[in-house]
């Protein structure tokens, strides 16, 4: 029986998994030794954290000029050639003025240059909330090394409901932000990120995990948090060996989120 105190998104997951569970019962006698060996993934709701609601904080006004030693990744359409889609094709997102706006279904973009430890600055703006479905408002993300997601989402004043480790400023499904410092929709917001890449031993096991520190609109929201592994929507994150430097990736999730003033300092 469904308790209506359960948020809508969890209800949807619950219904989905009840249906899947019913179907699975009907075919259980056909289960083979091979399927038993396959990893059983927990429900996506197993990694949703609703335990602590980050307090609301109103950020001050902000502006950020890149420092002299920054690598400029996006300041206008002339920087489009620094980016590509995963298949190596030219960027199909829309450049307008100094902003770059996601073109839905055009897939993620990534830098041609690869990065490991970094200081990263970028600015992002969510679209008019009425153009997105409620569970996908302003959904995008900064995938550092293409793997570790700092979430972008429409989280101003908790106007769009999502588990706290899925709101703006979360390390998606790993860490909720300390506070909610989000600005209103259609307003530019900033992320300033210090990222320490994971270190792997010669035998490819983890010597040191990745760490992330993030300021959202100049407010500290993640303080040197340890990452459990690459972002996964379903199941629990775990590290897998990868190169010391990988492209920076911006997520396309169907919402027309814009970006501007993206720069990086290698550490």
Residues that bind Mg ion (CB under 5 A): 139, 141
CB of 222 to Mg ion, least distance (A): 15
Q: For Mg ion, give the closer residue by CB, 76 or 235.
A: 235
Q: Which residue is nearest to Mg ion (CB)?
A: 141
- Alpha-helical (H) ranges within 30-174 are 33-37
E strand or H helix that includes residue 250: strand 246-250
- CB of 131 vs Mg ion, minimal distance in Å: 17
Nearest to 59 by CA among 185, 186, 213, 180: 180
The answer to whether 257 and 140 are in contact (CB under 8 A) is yes
Buried-state track 109-129, b at ≥16 Cβ within 10 A, e below 16: bbbeeebbbbbbbbbbbbbeb
Quick one: 54 or 141, whose CB is closer to Mg ion?
141
Minimum distance, C-beta of residue 251 to Mg ion, in the bound complex (Å): 5
Distance CA 30, CA 206 (A): 39
Q: Which is nearer to Mg ion, 139 or 155 (CB)?
A: 139
Residue placing its CB nearer to Mg ion in the complex, 162 or 210: 162
Q: Give the nearest distance from C-beta 101 to Mg ion in angstroms.
A: 16
């Amino acid at each position: 029986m469904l308790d209506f105190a359960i948020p809508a998104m969890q209800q949807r997951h619950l219904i989905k998994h009840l249906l899947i569970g019913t179907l699975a019962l009907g075919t259980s006698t056909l289960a083979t030794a091979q399927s038993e060996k396959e990893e059983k993934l927990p429900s996506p709701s197993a990694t949703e954290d609703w335990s602590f609601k980050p307090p609301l904080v109103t950020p001050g006004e902000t502006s950020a000029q890149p420092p002299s030693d920054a690598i400029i990744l996006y300041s206008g359409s002339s920087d489009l050639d620094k980016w590509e889609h995963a298949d190596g094709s030219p960027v199909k997102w829309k450049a307008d003025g100094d902003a770059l706006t996601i073109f839905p279904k055009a897939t993620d973009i990534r830098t041609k240059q690869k990065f490991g430890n970094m200081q990263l600055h970028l600015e992002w703006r969510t679209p008019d909330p009425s153009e997105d479905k409620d569970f996908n408002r302003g959904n995008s993300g900064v995938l550092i090394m293409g793997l570790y997601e700092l979430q972008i989402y429409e989280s101003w004043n908790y106007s769009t409901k999502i588990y706290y480790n899925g709101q703006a400023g979360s390390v998606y499904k790993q860490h909720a932000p300390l506070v909610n410092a989000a600005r209103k929709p259609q307003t530019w917001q900033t992320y300033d990120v210090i990222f320490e890449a994971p270190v792997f031993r010669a035998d490819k096991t983890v010597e040191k995990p990745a760490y992330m520190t993030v300021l959202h609109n100049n407010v500290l929201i993640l303080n040197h948090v340890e990452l459990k592994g690459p972002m996964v929507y379903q199941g629990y994150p775990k590290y897998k060996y990868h190169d010391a430097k990988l492209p920076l990736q911006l997520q396309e999730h169907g919402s027309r989120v814009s970006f501007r003033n993206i720069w990086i300092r290698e550490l």
